[in-house]
Structure 1
């Protein structure tokens, strides 16, 4: 599949927590940082996401929020 997003972060799924229609997916990146994504439960099932799955987190700039410390 070809995507226009250029920000791909490789990592390993640490956990998937499903609650109703949504799932929270925590991915540990190769450098040790984590990225958390909220996706539909259906998408998590279709992708077969579970702890230990090797994945790419794809980030589109229009979906990034910044919070000051």
Structure 2
């Protein structure tokens, strides 16, 4: 199956750098060129997507809220 279109506008292409597998969930680290994005996904999804270090992926963000924090002045 090929994705024809998707309504998530916040997309970052990258390469899986490493995967920390857990029994239920896994931490997938993706290098997007300007830094790293870490995603927590089910281990079943890691297996079904065939993810491994070196896999090309697209990180998609769809959210109604983004929380920001600032550092206290020095």
TM class, shorter-length = 0.7 to 0.9
Q: Which has the larger radius of gyration?
A: 2
Alignment TM-score, normalising by the size of structure 1? 0.84
After superposition, the Cα gap between the structure-2 partners of 1:67 and 1:51, relative to the gap in structure 1 and judged at 3 Å, is farther
Supply the distance in 1 between the matched residues of 2:69 and 2:23 (Cα, whole angstroms): 27
Is the alpha carbon distance of 1:19 and 1:44 closer, same or farther for their aligned partners in structure 2, counting shifts above 3 Å?
same
Q: Report deviation, 1:30.
A: 2.4
Total equivalences in the alignment: 68
Please, what TM-score do these two structures have when normalized by structure 2?
A: 0.79
The residue that corresponds to 1:42 in the other structure is 44
Which is helix-richer, 1 or 2?
1
Q: 1:37 to 1:63 in 2, by over 3 A?
A: farther
Higher strand proportion (structure 1 or 2): 1
Runs of 4+ in 1 over 6 A off after TM superposition: none
| Corresponding position: 1:11 with 2:45 | no
RMSD: 1.7
Q: Which runs of 5+ in 1 are unaligned?
A: none
